Amino acid sequence: MSATQSGQIPPVITIDGPSGSGKGTVAFRMAQELQWPILDSGAIYRVLGLAVHRANIDPTNPDNVGEIVQLAESLPLTFEAEPETGEVVAVLDGEAVGDLIRSDEAGVRASEVAKIPEVRTALLQRQRDFRKFPGLIADGRDMGTIVFADAPVKIFLTASAETRANRRFEQLKQKGIDASLCALLESIKARDERDRTRTVAPLVPAEGAFVVDSSNLSIDEVFSQVFEYSKKVLGM
Q: What residue number has its CB nearest to ligand C5P?
A: 42
Shortest Å, Cβ 159 to ligand C5P: 13
Which residue in 78, 55, 191, 67 sits closest to 119, CA to CA? 67
Interface with ligand C5P includes 191 (CB under 6 A)? yes
User: Of residues 59, 98, 135, 140, which one binds ligand C5P by CB under 6 A?
Assistant: 140
The answer to whether 79 touches 32, Cβ cutoff 8 Å, is no
Asked if residue 167 binds ligand C5P (CB under 6 A), the reply is: no
CB of 195 to ligand C5P, least distance (A): 5
Establish if 141 lies at the interface with ligand C5P (CB under 6 A).
yes
How many chain residues interact with ligand C5P (CB under 6 A)? 14
Residues 55-114 that bind ligand C5P (CB under 6 A): 107, 110-111, 114
Window 19-48: contact mask with ligand C5P (x via CB under 6 A): x---------------------xx--xx--
**Nearest approach, Cβ of 127 to ligand C5P (angstroms)?**
8
The nearest distance, CB 11 to ligand C5P, in angstroms, is 19
CB of 109 to ligand C5P, least distance (A): 9
What are the backbone dihedrals phi and psi of residue 99, each rounded to the nearest 5 degrees, phi first?
Answer: -75, -40
Can you give the chain as a three-state secondary structure string? CCCCCCCCCCCEEEEECCCCCCHHHHHHHHHHHHCCCEEEHHHHHHHHHHHHHHCCCCCCCHHHHHHHHHHHHHCCEEEEECCCCCCEEEEECCEECCCHHHCHHHHHHHHHHHCCHHHHHHHHHHHHCCCCCCCEEEEECCHHHHHCCCCCEEEEEECCHHHHHHHHHHHHHHCCCCCCHHHHHHHHHHHHHHHHHCCCCCCCCCCCCEEEECCCCCHHHHHHHHHHHHHHHHCC
Task: Return the number of the residue (1 or 52) whose C-beta is nearest ligand C5P.
Answer: 52
Rank residues 5 and 103 by Cβ distance to ligand C5P and give the closer one.
103
Interface residues with ligand C5P (CB under 6 A) are 19, 41-42, 45-46, 107, 110-111, 114, 140-142, 191, 195
